[in-house]
Structure formats: structure tokens, C-alpha cells
Structure 1
Amino acid sequence: MENKKNKIALVTGGSRGLGKEMALSLAKKGLDVVLTYHSKKEEAEVVVGEIEKLGQKAVAIQLNVAESSSFDSFFQNVTTVLKSTFNTDKFDFLVNNAGVGVHEGFLTTTEAQVDNMVNIHFKGAFFLTQKALAVMNDGGGIVNISSGLTRFSFPGYAAYASMKGAIETLSKYQAKELGERKIRVNIVAPGAIETDFGGGAVRDNEQLNQMIAAMTALGRVGLPDDIGSVVAFLCTDDAKWVNAQRIEVSGGMNL
């Protein structure tokens, strides 16, 4: 057993919210984790410590997914860390989770807001994955995080949801083209979740929370650990025949 190498997952935006729960869920499944953070290194190191307590290896690396010009140097850091911390040269699973929201009506959304959404949610995930493939093992997988907002509409999310719609289309093309490497590509689309995302509105606005709970079949708003376990499942052999799928994890919103 000593010689058996653990699978390794790279989770972007793994220091907080949904990404943190994904990282912890992956560790509970026996995977080692590389997680990225944008600016809050201390938060990321806390998550690393929690993963190590679960008996897995983990490391945190800084990354701004909006700056695709930084991806080459980021993957140089990843390669160094893979050797030093994990005694290997490749990882197995990529989870494109990092992101921020914008809440703005369609009529008042600015070009700067749209550019930001493109850079973070589409261009970032597009080119990060492209460059990651040189450092990924065959037979692994990619999980792209989308949103329930691609299936149903809430006013104020036109720019954000449009980018997620683009990622859902991209995922099918990735699954098709990466099939020869036996790399599976799937989408996890969370419904409304209680995190600090979007200013924490779903968590902190009681009226909004109750409204969402009322339109959800299971009668409550989602919690971060509702999502992490599904992402972790997709990064195991239990999901070896699940490919090019959009799995909505929303408790049954707007049915």
C-alpha cells in the first residue's frame, strides 16, 4: 500500500465557500489537493491544515484566474509543488471553481462588468484548462462549475449566467476532444447556496432565503457541503462512466 500514489485534484478558488468544501470533500475521498487562492493566503493555509488533519497532502498556490497571462508561471509553480510535496510530476483532476458574481440588471450592465465576467468565468477557465492538460494524467477528469442560472432566470444575472452557459457548451467540446485521453469532463451547477458569494445575500437576507426555500422542492436553501460531495464523487472511479453531463445540485429549484 505504501507505494500506491494518491490521485491529486487541483481546485481553483479552494480557500473559501464552495471551493473549500470541494477541497475537503475530495480529501475525505482519499485525494490529495492543490488549491488556489486569489488574495487570502491565511484562509487557504487553514484549509490546507484541515486537509492534512484528514490524512491527505495539500498545498495552496496563489492564482488570479482573470489574468490568463499568469497561467504559465502558475503551472511552473504547480510543477515544482508536485515534485516537492507529492513526489510526482502530474495531477489527475481539475476543478474550475474560482469566480465572483455580478448582480446588475441587463439594461445597466457595463462593458467593464461583462469583460470581467468573460475573463474570470470563460477565458480563465478556457485557457487554464488548456495549459493544465500538459500537467494532467490521462484517465482523470475535469469538473467545471456552472450555475442553476443557466436553466432558470433571475433578473440581475444576465452577464454571469451567460458566461456559465458558455462554459456548459465548452464542456461538451472538451469531453469530445479529450476522450482519446480518457479524461472525463462534467459540469456541476449549484442552485442558490448560503456562502459569501455575491455579498452573502442568499445567506444573510432572510426574505431572499425564504423565497428561494419556497421555490425549492426540498424546502431549504443549499449549503456549501451539499455541493462539495458531488464534485468529489465526479473525481472518483465511482463516476468513471459519467461524461459530458450537467449535474444540477439545487434541491429541485423551479421545477
Structure 2
Amino acid sequence: MARALEGKVALVTGGSRGIGRAIAERLARDGAAVGLTYARDEAAAAEAVERIRKDGGRAFAVRAEFGRHGDAADLWAAFAAAAGDHAPDGKLDIIVNNAGIGRSAPLATLTEDGFDELFAVNVRAPFFIVQQGLTRLRDRGRLINISSGAARLAMPEAIAYGSTKGALDTFTLNLAKELGSRDITVNSVAPGVVDTDVNADWLRGNPQAEAHAAALAALGRVGQPEDVADIVGFLASDDARWVTGRVIDATGGAGL
């Protein structure tokens, strides 16, 4: 039986760890050749690629740093160089904008530099990655933006971060309208608290923090990277061909 994404090529930004790595692994299991980007930790990216290959999948690492002008152009040049036989024509079928940074700073203490960095990485980079990637993305392709429950729930301690994800959701909505004529679907996936290395310092080994995070979700537990990755896997597949312009809540029912 053919796998859902057999013959497809995918790009997952920030795919060397956490949610991005789980997404890369899921898309590879479904048959896609996955390019996963990393900023500095080449060893983590190599390990992620090796694990996918050991499991019978196809993957390659792409070095890309986001947050400065020209980052999208550099990404696509690096993608073309790294893809090799996986994408000899430079084309692909799935783009997952997952790379992002978080800042827990309230309005009173957030600096202008911190604000600019958040929007440069979380909003400007995905915008121009897509802009410059549209000639590479095949018709009937999939664009999936990783948003956050912080765009829907009031979190004053992360006001700028939530604002970046709200902007990303608006980007999703408009892209879905613009690209519908090419049969390209565009959706956001909005996780809540997820047990990744980014949250490890305050979450892991802290029963009180874990209990608090679990209590936020109606399903009563902390999210896992695979919880988000499996939603992305669905959206990337043909089963989701009639879903576009949506923000898919992946918080386990936070704020209900």
C-alpha cells in the first residue's frame, strides 16, 4: 500500500528538534523526502536526518538562520544545494513554517530590539520564504504554518509573541484565498504547551509546573511533539484537500 506522501518533497523549517523534528519524522514516515533546517546545531540536524534514514525515510539537512534581511533567499539557495537527487528540479510539494522564537516579556519590559527580533523570525521570515518559494511549490501543494494558542488566548506575559502568531494566522488566511486557484491549501496549526527542550528548563522535573500545564488543557495532560506532528501529517495529505484557510487548534482544549 502506497504511503500518503510517496514521491513528495517537503521543507520543514526548524526541523532538527522539538515539534519541527517530530513533523519531519512524520512526513518522512508518510513517504516524503524532507529537508529540515537548522540554525547552528549541525550535530542535532545530522542526528535527526540519520534517524529518519534508519527508519527507511529520506531526509537532508539545510542550514538556515532567520531574523535578518536576505534570510529567505539564503534558505532557498541552501535548499537547492542540499536537496540533490531528492529534488533535482528544485521543486517541492510541502512547506512547513515551523521555525520561531519565543519571548516571555510583558508590555512594560519588552525592548524594541526584542520586539523586532520576534517579528523578524516569526513573521517576516515565513512571509518571504513563501513569497520566494511560490515558484518552487507545485500546484496542489501544501503550506502549513505553525502558530500558537497564544494567538487566541490572552497571555500578557507573552504579548509580542502572541502578536506574531496572530499575524501568522492572518497570513495563512490571505494565502489560502490567493493560492486557492492553484489548488494549494494553506492552514495554521496552533499548539499549546508542548514538552520540548525549549520548555524543559521550567517544565521537566517540576511536578507543580507539569500539573499546571496539564490543567490548562481539557484533555488533562501536557502536549507532545507527536500530537502536533500528526495534525500536520493530516494537513499535508490528500485527505485534507478540502481544508484551507483554517487555524487548527492543537492545545488539547486549552481555554474551553
Judge same fold: TM > 0.5, yes or no: yes
Q: Which residue of 2 aligns with 1:55?
A: 56
Q: Which residue of 2 aligns with 1:121?
A: 122
Q: Give the Å deviation of 1:244.
A: 0.6
- Give the % identical residues: 39
Q: Give the Å deviation of 1:21.
A: 0.4
1:186 paired with 2:178, answer no
- Partners of 1:5 and 1:20 lie apart in 2 by 19
Q: Give the Å deviation of 1:149.
A: 0.9
> SS in structure 2 opposite 1:59?
strand
Q: Give the Å deviation of 1:5.
A: 6.4
Q: Which residue of 1 aligns with 2:160?
A: 159
- Partners of 1:68 and 1:197 lie apart in 2 by 25
Relative to structure 1, the CA distance from residue 136 to residue 240 in structure 2 (aligned partners, 3 Å threshold; closer, same or farther) is: same
Q: Which residue of 1 aligns with 2:255?
A: 254
Q: Which residue of 2 aligns with 1:14?
A: 15
Relative to structure 1, the CA distance from residue 5 to residue 89 in structure 2 (aligned partners, 3 Å threshold; closer, same or farther) is: farther
Q: Confirm or deny: 8 A CA contact 2:53 2:59 kept in the other structure.
A: yes
1:73 paired with 2:74, answer yes
Relative to structure 1, the CA distance from residue 44 to residue 164 in structure 2 (aligned partners, 3 Å threshold; closer, same or farther) is: same
Cα deviation, 1:42-94, whole Å, max 9, x if unaligned, reads: 10011111111222221001111212413223212222333434444301000
> SS in structure 1 opposite 2:96?
strand
Q: Which amino acid aligns with 1:206?
A: P
Q: Confirm or deny: 8 A CA contact 2:92 2:138 kept in the other structure.
A: yes
Q: Which residue of 1 aligns with 2:221?
A: 220
Relative to structure 1, the CA distance from residue 159 to residue 198 in structure 2 (aligned partners, 3 Å threshold; closer, same or farther) is: farther
Matches within 5 A, 1:64-103: 64-103=65-104
Q: Confirm or deny: 8 A CA contact 1:150 1:164 kept in the other structure.
A: yes
- Partners of 2:218 and 2:95 lie apart in 1 by 31
Relative to structure 1, the CA distance from residue 105 to residue 206 in structure 2 (aligned partners, 3 Å threshold; closer, same or farther) is: farther
- Partners of 1:68 and 1:137 lie apart in 2 by 26
Q: More deviation in 95-104 or 74-83? A: 74-83
- Partners of 2:221 and 2:68 lie apart in 1 by 36
- Partners of 1:153 and 1:178 lie apart in 2 by 31
> SS in structure 1 opposite 2:27?
helix
Relative to structure 1, the CA distance from residue 5 to residue 68 in structure 2 (aligned partners, 3 Å threshold; closer, same or farther) is: farther
- Partners of 2:205 and 2:66 lie apart in 1 by 27
Q: Which residue of 2 aligns with 1:174?
A: 175
- Partners of 2:181 and 2:115 lie apart in 1 by 34
Q: Confirm or deny: 8 A CA contact 1:103 1:198 kept in the other structure.
A: no
Matches within 5 A, 1:193-204: 193-197=194-198, 200-204=201-205
Q: Which amino acid aligns with 2:18?
A: G
Q: Give the Å deviation of 1:206.
A: 2.9
Unaligned runs of 5+ residues in structure 2 are none
Q: Confirm or deny: 8 A CA contact 1:66 1:119 kept in the other structure.
A: yes
> SS in structure 2 opposite 1:93?
strand
Task: Give me the TM-score of the superposition, normalised by structure 2.
Answer: 0.93
Q: Which residue of 1 aligns with 2:232?
A: 231
Relative to structure 1, the CA distance from residue 190 to residue 203 in structure 2 (aligned partners, 3 Å threshold; closer, same or farther) is: farther
- Partners of 1:183 and 1:75 lie apart in 2 by 19
- Partners of 1:254 and 1:5 lie apart in 2 by 37
> SS in structure 2 opposite 1:122?
helix
- Partners of 1:204 and 1:61 lie apart in 2 by 33
Q: Give the Å deviation of 1:200.
A: 3.8
Unaligned runs of 5+ residues in structure 1 are none
1:35 paired with 2:36, answer yes
